[in-house]
């Protein structure tokens, strides 16, 4: 009588990705946006896709304070492999650009307390034209990555059709699980299906992948960041329930430190990626990063907001006619994060509001500006003004409401003071 149920339960658990990884959004560095498919190591040895590039970046992560902040993954993207599989049908790294091989590169990461990610594609070719991992190669390639002691795998979708993707993405999840090695699994599947239901099943994705690309590739421009922000917040009601510990929407890499963003725009990308509980993969040159970009990427308060253990993705709560938008994310300890973002292109705009207007419950809140570290106490009813630069943000960490009321009670001859906690939870009123 009970047997079919047990078998069903086993079948379900076997299909789920239970690698226990990425309980908070993964952080690290990913080659693609900045280095693309530069394979010209003869003429561009410092920037070509080679083991040297990944070792250089690993050195920077481990020596310049990144690792301690949580940036631990070094991820290879496209164009790493040889154009042909080896005699046993296995993927192999390009021998000229990766003379030591991927296993040695993984060792290089591990001795530094870092992790190595690698890239493949579920079609016949990768997007860059390298050998893909179609259905009949999934088991073999998962085993190869595990033997190389790789820690994360991004499975792209070029040159595959809907049917192959519907089979391949869950199959790869099982194959990675079956290796016994915990390997974080990034699925590009939804990005190839328009990112929305009914074509995309976010419940299934949460069961089989740790993160997934929902939308277009990021490019080194503010337009590109804005297009991504627009799409993610327009569809927030679909995307928010999909995310949580171990399963994340991925709006793509951080391009801070490259050429396309001003300092204000860089602060905006970092702030909005933290609100979105997005994976934080930088794609930049850590060897030459300027101090401004470094300060933004290494901002401890924003990182801790991004990494909040509740893992609740935040939302846009206001689009004001002034072209100021407000974003909010609930955090653990009854705290929250607020971002005031300006879509204006004229001058710093003095936006006036109150926490009550932003749906906060009655109370007195300690507020910290995460970029200036200035702290103030703001009562829910107090009107305040934030000055938001064009295309920039003001971002606040808002602590739990403090005890505000002291009431005097007379009891016999004693005077006793009772502190009344404010309703401790400011979350439900915003949901």
What is the 3-state secondary structure of 350-411? EEEEECCCCCCCCCEEEEEECCCCCEEEEECCCEEEEEECCCCEEEEEECCCECCEEEEEEE
Nearest alpha carbon to residue 215 among 197, 234, 240, 188 = 188
Region binding ligand GLA by CB under 6 A among candidate stretches 101-109, 124-132, 259-267, 301-309: 124-132
Q: Which of 141, 156, 207, 252 is catalytic?
A: 156
Considering Cα of 230, then 235, then 237, then 242, what sign does the dihedral take?
A: negative
> Token pair of 401, please?
């409401």
CB of 72 to ligand GLA, least distance (A): 20
Residues 235-274 contacting ligand GLA, CB under 6 A: none
318 touches 358 (CB < 8 A): yes
Count, residues near ligand GLA per rule CB under 6 A: 9
CB of 76 to ligand GLA, least distance (A): 10
Nearest alpha carbon to residue 71 among 115, 35, 32 = 115
Residues 369-388 contacting ligand GLA, CB under 6 A: none
Residues 55-84: x where in contact with ligand GLA by CB under 6 A, - otherwise, as a string: ----------------------xx------
Between 188 and 236, whose beta carbon lies closer to ligand GLA? 188
Cβ-based neighbours of 190, under 8 Å, separated by 6 or more: 200, 202, 205, 212, 213, 214
Q: Is 156 a catalytic residue?
A: yes
If one asks whether residue 32 binds ligand GLA (CB under 6 A), the answer comes out as yes
Residues 187-246 contacting ligand GLA, CB under 6 A: 188, 217
Cβ-based neighbours of 234, under 8 Å, separated by 6 or more: none
Between 25 and 128, whose beta carbon lies closer to ligand GLA? 128
196 touches 205 (CB < 8 A): no
407 φ/ψ angles, rounded to the nearest 5 degrees: -110, 145
Region binding ligand GLA by CB under 6 A among candidate stretches 105-113, 122-130, 193-201, 349-357: 122-130
Mark residue 70 as left, alpha or beta (left: phi above 0; alpha: psi -120 to 50; beta: remaining). left
Between 49 and 142, whose beta carbon lies closer to ligand GLA? 49
Residues 125-184 contacting ligand GLA, CB under 6 A: 126-128, 156
Strands (E), 13-72: 27-30
From the centroid of its chain, how far is CA 275?
10
CB of 186 to ligand GLA, least distance (A): 10
Between 77 and 94, whose beta carbon lies closer to ligand GLA? 77
If one asks whether residue 94 binds ligand GLA (CB under 6 A), the answer comes out as no
Between 188 and 342, whose beta carbon lies closer to ligand GLA? 188
Region binding ligand GLA by CB under 6 A among candidate stretches 57-65, 123-131, 307-315, 356-364: 123-131
Region binding ligand GLA by CB under 6 A among candidate stretches 121-129, 240-248, 291-299, 336-344: 121-129
Between 249 and 336, whose beta carbon lies closer to ligand GLA? 249
Q: Which of 38, 64, 201, 217 is catalytic?
A: 217
Please identify every residue annotated as catalytic: 156, 217
Question: Contact residues for ligand GLA (CB under 6 A)?
Answer: 32, 77-78, 126-128, 156, 188, 217
């Amino acid at each position: 009588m009970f047997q079919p149920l047990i078998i069903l339960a086993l079948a379900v658990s076997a299909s789920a990705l239970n690698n226990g990884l990425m309980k908070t959004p993964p952080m690290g560095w990913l080659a693609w946006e900045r280095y693309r498919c530069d394979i010209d190591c003869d003429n561009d040895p410092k920037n070509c896709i080679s083991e040297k590039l990944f070792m250089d970046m690993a050195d920077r992560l481990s020596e310049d304070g990144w690792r301690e902040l949580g940036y631990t993954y070094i991820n290879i993207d496209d164009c790493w492999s040889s154009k042909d599989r080896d005699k046993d049908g296995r993927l192999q790294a390009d021998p000229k650009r990766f003379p030591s091989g991927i296993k040695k590169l993984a060792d290089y990461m591990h001795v530094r307390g870092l992790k190595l990610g690698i890239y493949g594609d579920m079609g016949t070719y990768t997007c860059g034209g390298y050998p893909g991992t179609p259905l009949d190669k999934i088991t073999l390639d998962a085993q190869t990555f595990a033997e190389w002691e790789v820690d994360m795998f991004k499975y792209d979708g070029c040159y595959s059709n809907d049917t192959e993707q519907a089979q391949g993405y869950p199959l790869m999840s099982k194959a990675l699980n079956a290796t016994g090695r915990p390997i974080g699994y990034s699925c590009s599947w939804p990005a190839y299906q328009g990112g929305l239901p009914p074509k995309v099943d976010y419940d299934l994705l949460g069961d089989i992948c740790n993160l997934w690309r929902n939308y277009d590739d990021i490019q080194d421009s503010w337009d590109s960041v804005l297009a991504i922000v627009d799409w993610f917040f327009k569809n927030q009601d679909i995307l928010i329930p999909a995310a949580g510990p171990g399963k994340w929407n991925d709006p793509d890499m951080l391009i801070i430190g490259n050429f396309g963003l001003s300092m204000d725009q860089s602060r905006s990308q970092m702030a909005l990626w933290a609100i979105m509980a997005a994976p934080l993969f930088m794609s930049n040159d850590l060897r030459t990063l300027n101090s401004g970009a470094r300060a933004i990427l290494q901002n401890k308060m924003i990182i801790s907001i991004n990494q909040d253990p509740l893992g609740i993705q935040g939302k846009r709560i206001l689009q004001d006619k002034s072209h100021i938008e407000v974003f909010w994310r609930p955090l653990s300890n009854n705290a929250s994060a607020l971002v005031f973002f300006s879509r204006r292109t004229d001058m710093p705009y003095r936006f006036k509001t109150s926490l009550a207007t932003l749906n906060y419950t009655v109370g007195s809140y300690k507020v910290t500006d995460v970029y200036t570290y200035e702290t103030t106490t703001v009562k829910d009813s107090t009107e305040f003004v934030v000055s938001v630069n064009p295309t920039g943000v003001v971002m606040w960490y808002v602590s739990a409401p403090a005890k505000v009321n002291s009431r005097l009670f007379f009891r016999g001859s004693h005077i006793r003071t009772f502190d009344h906690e404010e309703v401790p939870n400011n979350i439900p009123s915003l949901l």
